[in-house]
Structure 1
């Protein structure tokens, strides 16, 4: 899919320089992937502290009750 974009040439030159790639397409693709990953990570970070926590939960006892495959020990 061909797309025409007016990208700041100085930004594109810097992206080429710091990325080490040879083409503008590669630089833009990397930039978009990193942008998406950063936004997705930010959404995860925003969820920190929003889960209910059970202070009485004994994770060590839970681990002892399971085998190496995570199956309950009988």
Structure 2
């Protein structure tokens, strides 16, 4: 059981040690740097693409099935 556990945990441990994080993640910017860029964010309404739709009655399903059938609805 110990052998199986060590075989299962080894890739996780090695994977965590393999990659070096990018420099912008590990080194914070100096807050007193006047040349530091500021990312501006704008407000985007979450309902800007909303379109009101009303419920409709279903179409007759037999006709729809016949229209999309491979033979074009000729085999009745």
Greater CA radius of gyration, 1 or 2?
2
TM-score, normalising length from structure 2? Answer: 0.31
Q: What TM-score do the two structures reach when normalised by structure 1?
A: 0.32
Bigger relative CO (Cα 8 Å, ≥ 6 apart):
1
